[in-house]
Structure formats: C-alpha cells, structure tokens
Amino acid sequence: MDKRVLELHGLWSSRATRWAPRRHGMFGTKGQQCGVRWLGSSSSSAMNCTAPAAAVAAAPAAAKAAPYLDDAAQLIKSVETFIFDCDGVIWKGDKLIEGVPETLDMLRRMGKRLVFVTNNSTKSRKQYGKKFETLGLNVNEEEIFASSFAAAAYLQSINFPSNKKVYILGEVGIQKEMEQAGINFIGGPEDADRKINLEPGQLMEHDKDVGAVVVGFDRYINYYKIQYATLCIRENPGCLFIGTNCDAVTHLTDAQEWAGGGAMVGCIKASTKREPLVVGKPSTFMMDYLSNKFGISKTQICMVGDRLDTDILFGQNGGCKTLLVLSGVTTLKTLESPDNTIQPDYYANGLSDLLKLAKPVV
C-alpha cells in the first residue's frame, strides 16, 4: 500500500520508524476524549469502546428514525456490491437465518458482487469458508474478510519487520492469518492452560522481540495471557496494541448474547492504560482494503448489518449506503430510541426482505 495513502488514514508517520504507525491523538467530539483509535476513521465519526459520560452527554440529538425498506428493487439497482456482516445477518451461532440462501442466490443472479465481513476473529478466512459450506452456502474464500485477516493485513501494510513477533491474545483464526501472511507469532491457544505461580519475588519473563500484541475474542482468556500481553505493551519499546474489534456482545449460540471481543480488548486497555488500534468495524481499514482490492466505488456499495455502532457506522464511515436488519442485536425499539444517534439509510426485518420485496420486479 502506498505510504501517502497510509499517512492519509493515520497508519503511517514519516517521522516514525519504518513500521511504527502514527501516534495520533484520540478521536471524538470536540473537547472530549474517546477510548480507542479506529484506523481510517475521521474525528466526527469515530466511536470508542467505553465512552466517558461527558462524551455521551455531548452527543448530537437523535436523527429522524430510518425508514423501512419498501423498495428493495431500487436499492438493489442502485449498487453493484453488497457487504454483509455474518453474525446476526447470515447466521446466529451455527444456525442459518431463514431466507438467506434464496436471497443470496437472487442477488448473484442479478450480477451483484457479494462480500462477507465479520468482526469475529476466532476463525481464518479458510475456516469461515468451511462454515459457509457446512451451512449450505456457496461462498468463495476471496469473498470473506474477518478481523483476524484485517489484523494481519494491517501489519503487512506498515511493513512489520521480519525480526519482530506478534503476541496473540486470541484464538486460532488470528494464528492462521499471521501464518498465511508470513508474520512471526507466539501465544494464542497454546497459552490457554498456562498458570502463574504467585510466590514471593515471582517475576514473569516475556519475549523482548514482541513488536505487536493482537487482542481478539478469546474464550480461553486467563491471567497468564493478560499479564504477558501487558508486559509486552508496557515494556517493549514501540510495541503496538492492536484490537480486532470492540464488540460488546457476540452470538456464540442462537439462544442468547455472549460477551464479545470488546471484553478482552478492554481488559488489556485497562492494564496498560493504552488505547488500541482497532482494525475491525467500524474502522474503515477493511473498507479501504476491499475498495482497492476489487476496484469498487464506495458509493456503489451497500453495507448490511445488525449493529448500529459497528456495521452501520462502518458503512457510513466508508461513504456507502446502509441497511440495518433486525435479525440480530439491534431491535426496532433501539433504532427508534431518542438516545440513538446512528441511523441507517433503511431498515428491514431480515435479509430475506430483499427477496420478498424485490421478487415482483425480478
């Protein structure tokens, strides 16, 4: 990626070392301090993992609630690419959401490019390809972009040095993407059973060659991992703190919501007093990557998701059309709440609304 492009998005500093990103300030409303740095986000649209009360109080008044999508044919006609979130849009846990296969088939028949973007870092693109296949969906690996891939792509974009390592607080998806990118790493699932014997005078050693810590969703997080990541970030000069996402909840099963990757990122943020560089939604890093890879104009993209503060903001930050579906996290009550300041262009009950509403004109 061109250095000038990286510098524009805050990913490169000509005054820093070759691989170190710009140490820009926190984003947020004027006079407020936010709790995370979203790669590629502008100051007016960035979000934070844990916004201070003052920042919430200073938020703009809620906009008029988005309209229900009653002309799917027109929306489909107006764009060439649909980007879909996965959890809550395509599936919940390991259960496919009703009407999804037929809707995707219809869009492909109409010549639309389909891309699937997820903040879930537990799987690699190849592993997600197998999940799509298991659910009976024909999706190419090149159409899948997970935050695990985004973390590796970001490190490649800043020329992360070959003599440095990444410590992974996360699952196998991040490992596989680092391996695919040729980036040295340690940690991950291998540290799941490690324990610390806290005897008097106990000193924990860590690898001084770790140049970045990548924190993603981790069902096996423990005190060893927390301390190791903390030591690397606090004691290794120039060590990067990268978060795959700051999602509060995730859909591990279709029965309820579970604590998301933001819980793990927040843990390391608290212990290091450092702000993470977030590569997943709503950062525009993945959007820029996709636009460049496929040669897509962002105005010709519709982002479809179930979360306002990640999916819809991701689309808005990228200058795309946005469609919220109510099949996942966000309810109609939340969308229409006076406290909600993020409004999509349209909302629908689920992805299959595209099929039902567009059918007469297909």
**What angle, 0 to 180 degrees and rounded to 10, lies between the N-to-C axes of helices 223-235 and 261-272?**
50
Binned at pLDDT 50, 70 and 90, residue 56 comes out as very low
Residue 148 pLDDT greater than 70, yes or no: yes
Q: What is the DSSP string of 151-189?
A: HHHHHHHTT--TT-EEEEES-HHHHHHHHHHT--EEEGG
pLDDT at 281 over 90: yes
Q: How confident is the model at residue 249 (pLDDT cuts 50, 70, 90)?
A: confident
Do strands 258-259 and 249-250 pair parallel, antiparallel, or not at all (unpaired)?
A: antiparallel
More confident residue, 332 or 21: 332
Q: Using an 8 Å Cβ cutoff, are 291 and 320 in contact?
A: no
Q: Are 281 and 119 in contact (CB under 8 A)?
A: yes
Q: Which two tokens stand for residue 291?
A: 């636009």
User: Beta strand 210-215 with 165-169: parallel, antiparallel or unpaired?
Assistant: parallel
Residue 80 bears catalytic tag: yes
How many CB atoms lie under 10 A from the CB of residue 78? Answer: 12
Region of 205 on the Ramachandran plot (φ > 0 left; ψ -120 to 50 alpha; else beta): beta
- Do 318 and 281 form a contact (C-beta atoms < 8 A)? no
- pLDDT tier at 250, thresholds 50, 70, 90: confident
Given the residues 7, 80, 133, 190, the one annotated as active site: 80
Q: How far is CA 13 from the centre of its chain?
A: 23
How far apart are the C-alpha atoms of 224 and 318, rounded to whole Å? 38
Tens-place pLDDT, residues 305-329: 999 999 999 999 999 999 999 999 9
Cα distances (Å, whole numbers) of residue 351 to 58, 115, 119, 207, 222? 34, 14, 19, 47, 37
